[in-house]
Structure 1
Amino acid sequence: MKINVRKIIPYSEKNISYFNQKRPKMLVLWLGTLFACITIKMHLFVCVYCKKCIYSVKEGWLKMGLNSFVAQEARPLPIFVLADVSGSMSGAKIKELNIALRDMISALNNVNDIRGKFQLCVISFGGDVANIVQPLTDVAKVSLTELEANGETPMGSAFTQVAEMIENREIVSSRAYAPTIVLISDGMPTDFRGGQDYSNWAPLAMLHSGPRSSKCQRLAMGIGDDADMAMLKAFVKNDQIPVIKSNGAKGIASFFRWVTMSTVARATSVAPNNVSVVAPISLMDEEEITI
């Protein structure tokens, strides 16, 4: 095997005499080191001035040290709240909903020893379309604005919005646990015209069939006698999770406490992706809610 030394080391008058004296030993050293480096798929450079070998891996220098190790960020557990803010939610209902959301954020911020961290997104549906009033972010950074009630109940728009967000890996990290979707409403979707057969409704089918959105935990509550319980049951689509009905506005706070405890229970379990894990129903005020 013939080696062109001038291609390996820089040419200079200063190092020629040194090389002539040390040629046999250096050739053996180079060949042995080169063989070892090829074996571990590295490139070798030899610096004759400092008599040290400098290794590089592909495009960059191989640097090892304590500073090379970075703590991995906690895995997020996203929570999406789909909030009905139609005109029928005005008064005590929207007031209790705002209070319940703030209480949930406060409670989640004070949870310790969980397998990750909580993130929150709030999507309101009222008027003509759904709106993202709180983009998905860590609960510690949430600054929630007050929800106001007006207009119709475009629930389908909210389903489409949340499904698209969950499938977008730039919004919901690939490392995230299965999200929780919380739906609260006191009426029927005004963007659906199929009676009470929701099995083929495109927005709901999109939510149930998405590669990622289909794996979410879904929790729901209807408020008052006008709430479409058939719609809420079609949304949850899990026999192991009850659909909650509130007799009035006061049940909203009880429901969100249950949502908070259910989310915490999942985050502290050995299997946070088990979406059937919920808190006991007995923790809610039985005078305000029915199942």
Structure 2
Amino acid sequence: MTMMDLPGGAISRRPLRFYWVLDVSGSMAGDKIDQLNFAIREALPAMRESAAENPYAAVEVRVLTFSTGYQWVTPKPVPVEDFNWTGVPVNGITDMGAAMKAMAKELSVSNMPERGLRPVVVLVSDGQPTDDFDSGCDALMAEPWGKRALRIAIAIGGDADLDPLRKFIGHQEIEPLAARNSPDLVKYIRYVSTTVLKSASAPASRTVSVPSDGTPTPPPPPPPADPDADAVW
């Protein structure tokens, strides 16, 4: 007998939204964007498998890119089993603040499912904001779902500005993941697609304590960086 066949009918699966927020500004051109596209595409089978292991959560994926302004690559959340990745191009500057305001609107109470689990928002960037990031981040944190979300950031390259990424995370126990080469980036994309996703979906099947201020419990530690990689960004 499977869990879906238990007396009382099928299990009601609660929506869990997973957001990629990707920097596609001009500085990402070349190997960085190629490896980011490769890493997301290669992580998808493991992401689907991780999502399938929890019959209580229905994982949906949506992608937001930002450069000069922002763009929703997926018009609406897509079930992870139907989500595919063909890659994104690069151009423009780094309007990270505009992306934060777009996420604030997306995570407003009126847009989120009533029974949804805390969403996962993964910000990936190699630079520093060229617009008003602080007001955008404040708008995101002002939304109950924005504050409750499990927010993870991946910094690409040794010259990425970590301060805005730390503010986006807003959790003293979670640092930006510093991807200084292709192996690190692939490793961290897989980590957020599987381990972090599994951590966020855990409350669907068991009670997990959340501090009274709404700050989410941190996920398991990430894998270590690869200090011996040949190429460094």
Interval containing the TM-score (normalised by the shorter chain): 0.7 to 0.9
Partner of 1:244: 177
Query: So what's the TM-score if we normalise by structure 2?
Result: 0.82
1:59 match: none
Report the counterpart of residue 225 of structure 1 in structure 2: 158
Task: Quote how far apart the aligned CAs of 1:150 are.
Answer: 1.1
| Structure 2 counterpart of 1:7 | none
Instruction: State the distance in 2 between where 1:278 and 1:117 align.
Output: 19
1:75 and 1:162 mapped to 2: Cα distance? 21
Distance in 2 between residues matched to 1:133 and 1:285, nearest whole Å: 29
| Residue in 1 that maps onto 2:117 | 177
Distance 1:168 1:145, change over 3 A: farther
Measured on the aligned residues, the alpha-carbon RMSD in Å equals 2.2
Residue 198 (structure 2) pairs with residue 264 (structure 1)? yes
Deviations 1:241-290 (A, max 9, x none): 12211213432111112212121133235246853231223x2444279x
| Contact 1:266/1:277 (8 A) holds in 2 | no
Query: What residue is the counterpart of 1:277 in the other structure?
Result: 218
In structure 1, the residue matched to 2:33 is 94
Question: What residue in structure 2 maps to residue 105 of structure 1?
Answer: 44
Q: 1:77 to 1:271 in 2, by over 3 A?
A: farther
SS of the aligned residue for 2:144 comes to coil
In the alignment, which residue of structure 2 is the partner of 1:39? none
2:3 matched residue in structure 1: none
Distance, in Å, in 1 between the alignment partners of 2:81 and 2:95 is 30
**1: distance between equivalents of 2:228 and 2:25?**
22
Q: Please give the alpha-carbon distance, in whole angstroms, between the structure 1 residues aligned to 2:228 and 2:208.
A: 29
Tell which deviates more after alignment, 265-274 or 159-168. Answer: 265-274
Q: Distance in 1 between matches of 2:106 and 2:200?
A: 21
Letter matched to residue 85 of structure 1:
V
1:151 paired residue number: 92
Displacement of 1:142 after TM fit? 1.4
Matched residue SS, 2:93 = coil
Separation in structure 1 between the aligned mates of residue 158 and residue 113 of structure 2, nearest angstrom: 39
CA contact (8 A) 1:258 1:284 kept: no
CA–CA distance in 2 between the matches of 1:288 and 1:118?
35
Q: C-alpha distance in 1, partners of 2:124/2:24?
A: 9
| TM-score computed with the length of structure 1 as normaliser | 0.66
- 2:105 maps to which residue? 164
Letter in 1 for 2:124: I
**Structure 2 contact 153–165 (Cα < 8 Å) conserved:** yes
* Alpha carbons 1:223, 1:247 under 8 Å: kept: yes
Offset at residue 219 of structure 1 (A): 0.3
Label 1:273 to 1:109 Cα distance change in 2 as closer, same or farther (>3 A).
Answer: farther
